[in-house]
Amino acid sequence: MIVARAPLRIPLAGGGTDLPFYAEQRGGHLVSVAIDRYAYVVLAARADSDDYLVCCDRVERADALDHIEQSFVREAMRYLRMPGGVAVHCLAEIEGGSGLGVSSSGLVALLCALHAFRRERAAPVVLAQAATFLEREVLDQAGGVQDQYMAAYGGLREIQNTTRANVIIKPLRLEPEVIKALEANLMLFSTGVRRNSDAIVRSQLEQNSEAAVLEHYDKIKEVGLRARESLLAGDLAAFAQTLHQHWILKRRISDRMSSELLDTLYQRGLEAGAISGKVIGAGGGGCLLFYVDEGHERFATAMKRLGLRHVQFRFAWKGAESLWTAFGPP
């Protein structure tokens, strides 16, 4: 039996510039941080059958790999040439559609577990590249590279890419007191509204000319680079303002980025004491992130009254890992 996990992530700056239609022409650059909320995968060898038992989105049994309907499980197992007689269970601390990269973290955790099942230790880059290939090329899901790389590596990092294969990821090294304040002042809330990131990403090019989208993301990257410099300088007040600037820019790209409900909740958060904030991920629902420099408990209570759930977290400094491995007799 194998138990593996991979962290979820919160994009802090430049989110969306890793999308291929922008990165391939202008180069993506973003800052993201992993959090201690995880996607888990449990693998077990079956003693009673050579069939596949998959318990992820739903429970299914399949007598052949091609008959597995849950596509990310099927393609990950095909990619690593896994035989039958395996049970796969997927779990996550936060439901998919939250904007926190749950599906990618689940896939990275699955790949980590499958490698461990084969008694292999996979480096973060191997997991990240495989997950990106499977999601973006094999399954044709729209998106960038941030989710897979953050799930594999963890930590506070900046990511640069020009293609899905040409990715540079490195730590963003901040002073300890800056990290402590940043972690304390970022407050995450679930709206309970689930959304399809694939559809939202595709809508950006459907509703705009390519030139208009590139111009939008030029501005988003510019704000993201200012956010990076503010973090490195320890100027968290300046960093906080870039969150709001990012969101104002991003919500203009597509009418699916926000909604009347999200706009109202965001405004109520500012009125309750947040300096700034944004909707996490592709937009359209999921989680709201606020930067609150004082009165954290009071702010959390105010958001709870609006029907939001406070998702508490710490930064996660480790990426995907196998937590527990137990093999039967050799």
Residue with tokens 């990511």: 159
Structure tokens at 195: 């959304």
> Which residues 6+ apart lie within 8 Å of 267 measured at CB?
none
Q: Are 131 and 106 in contact (CB under 8 A)?
A: no
- Distance from C-alpha of 124 to C-alpha of 130, rounded to nearest angstrom: 10
Structure tokens at 107: 């896939």
- Distance from C-alpha of 124 to C-alpha of 63, rounded to nearest angstrom: 32
Q: Please identify every residue annotated as catalytic.
A: 147
b/e code 243-270 from CB counts within 10 Å (16+ = b): bbbbbebbbebbebbbbeebeebbeebe
Q: How many other CB atoms are there within 10 angstroms of residue 181's CB atom?
A: 15
